[in-house]
Amino acid sequence: MSRITLNTIKIKPNIAELQDVPEDITALKYVILEPIGFPININGENLKVSVDNHDLFNVYARDQWANEVIKEGEYLFDGTLIPDYAFKVINTHPKEGGLITRNTFFKLKTARTHDNKLVKNVKFDEVIGQNEAKKKCKIIMKYLENPEIFGEWAPKNILFYGAPGTGKTLLARALATETDVPLYLIKATELIGDHVGDGSKQIQELYEKASSSKPCIIFIDEIDAIALSRQYQSLRGDVSEIVNALLTELDGIHDNDGIITIAATNNPDMLDNAIRSRFEEEIKFEAPNDEDRLKIMKLYMGKIPLNTKNINLKKYVEKTKGMSGRDIKEKLIKPALHKAILEDKNSIEEKDLDIILNKLKGGKKEPLHLYA
Ligand SMILES: Nc1ncnc2c1ncn2[C@@H]1O[C@H](COP(=O)(O)OP(=O)(O)O)[C@@H](O)[C@H]1O
Ligand SMILES: [Mg+2]
């Protein structure tokens, strides 16, 4: 808790009257601010601010800063509730800066504090291959930065599908890392509650929460857990209320402009047709090709704390055919690391990899006896 006490709310002077603004200054479309703190510290503490309601923050921000001319790197000081509290301008559109108007859109960049924890440390570069999906993510990011140019052609509901372990969840994490907007990640299995109505309520609440922090992204992982085609529903029990709640949101019956829903599944063919038809685009995650597998091996070999320089990874391109990104990481590299640690070695050799791969090929159903 901060010991800094806030001034009682000041009635601020009338909003700056329209000043004479040179005509050649462009109006800013959006400004991204980062809360910095007070220029001087009192008792060594500083205040951390965050925003739950972005619409409200926009009104607040425009009220005090309309007519200011700013550019990236400059500071805006709060003149209202927490006088002298500094916000740094970390991004504007247009890039070269300009005039804050009543239509400028503000966003506060803060450490994300969503209920749905997301490990935010994956960059797009660390998702190997999957170029179509990455391209789509870039479009989504462009839209979130500048929704106006998209108008009614905004991206909305997108389905990621493909074999398990090909990077669907990984790409969601990268998207969360690389974009400034909130990303709500939910696993569809978590929506199946003990009582009928639990799941649909959670969906409504999720979209309501998202609605207060627009623009933002909702990622529904493993959507087949709830949106199963009716012919398979006996597997999961009755989830029709969840399906209906989701359909309502995907249709945008509520004002869902600025909320992008991405869903992921390993089994698109098992999806409920009504749900499936709501996705404007289905993007396939491909099994990694030769080049991708080499890159995946390089990526993760580079991350392990042992010496791997004696390994010629090119030899393993062919040997790992048919393996997914997850297989390579979890079934080849991880066991190799564990084996080396167990044997007190500080390096991994090709023969270690060969032993593991042979065992994998040999008895698929057998548990691995790597240390025998
Ligand atoms: N294309 C890829 N590039 C890099 N690593 C990958 C890739 N695909 C899978 N992995 C690795 O496998 C793990 C599991 O993948 P994940 O994204 O959970 O697969 P999916 O959600 O498609 O089943 C990832 O966390 C990552 O370590
Ligand atoms: Mg997944």
So what's the pLDDT on residue 122? 87
Residue whose CA is at the smallest distance from ligand 1 atom 17? 167
User: Which residue intervals of the chain bear CATH 3.40.50.300?
Assistant: 124-285
Cα separation values, 8 from 1, 46, 82, 231, Å: 18, 18, 9, 62
Pocket lining: 213 vs ligand 1, CB cutoff 6 Å: no
So what's the pLDDT on residue 178? 87
Residue 333 is given by DSSP the state I
Give the separation between CA 108 and CA 58, rounded to whole angstroms: 9
Buried-exposed string 318-355: b where 16+ CB fall within 10 A, e elsewhere: ebbeebbbbbbbebbbebbbebbeeeeeeebeeebbeb
So what's the pLDDT on residue 19? 52
What architecture is domain 2-108? Answer: Roll (3.10)
> Which class does domain 290-361 fall in?
mainly alpha
Q: Which residue has the tokens 């999957």?
A: 130
Give the separation between CA 234 and CA 140, rounded to whole angstroms: 36
Q: What is the identity of the amino acid at 96?
A: E
So what's the pLDDT on residue 3? 45
Q: How far is the CA of 204 from the centre of ligand 2 (A)?
A: 23
Q: Which residue has the tokens 């690391």?
A: 337
Ligand at shortest distance from the CA of 223: 2
User: Which residue intervals of the chain bear CATH 1.10.8.60?
Assistant: 290-361
Which ranges of 185-253 does DSSP label H, i.e. alpha helix? 198-211, 240-250
Q: What is the identity of the amino acid at 50?
A: S
- The residues facing 105 across adjacent strands are 30
User: Which residue intervals of the chain bear CATH 3.10.330.10?
Assistant: 2-108
So what's the pLDDT on residue 182? 86
| Beta carbons within 8 Å of 323's beta carbon, 6+ residues apart | 288, 293, 331, 332
Ligand at shortest distance from the CA of 162: 1
Pocket lining: 167 vs ligand 1, CB cutoff 6 Å: yes
Pocket lining: 174 vs ligand 1, CB cutoff 6 Å: no
326 close to 164: Cβ distance less than 8 angstroms? yes
Give the domain 124-285 fold: Rossmann fold (3.40.50)
So what's the pLDDT on residue 214? 83
Q: How far is the CA of 126 from the centre of ligand 1 (A)?
A: 10
Pocket lining: 329 vs ligand 1, CB cutoff 6 Å: yes
Pocket lining: 164 vs ligand 1, CB cutoff 6 Å: yes
96 close to 29: Cβ distance less than 8 angstroms? no
Averaged pLDDT in 10-residue chunks for the chain of 372 residues: 43 46 81 87 70 86 93 92 88 91 86 50 92 93 86 91 95 87 86 72 89 88 80 64 87 79 92 90 95 97 92 96 96 95 94 94 57 44
Pocket lining: 155 vs ligand 1, CB cutoff 6 Å: no
Pocket lining: 165 vs ligand 1, CB cutoff 6 Å: yes
Q: How far is the CA of 99 from the centre of ligand 2 (A)?
A: 44
Ion ligand 2 residue ranges (Cβ < 5 Å): 168-169
So what's the pLDDT on residue 6? 45
Give pTM, 2 decimals: 0.68
CA nearest to 277, candidates 235, 247, 249, 245: 247
Give the separation between CA 222 and CA 220, rounded to whole angstroms: 7
Pocket test for ligand 1, best of 170, 187, 289, 292 (most atoms within 8 A of CB): 170
Q: Please report which helix (H) or strand (E) contains residue 75, including its range.
A: strand 75-77
Pocket lining: 265 vs ligand 1, CB cutoff 6 Å: no
Q: How far is the CA of 168 from the centre of ligand 1 (A)?
A: 7
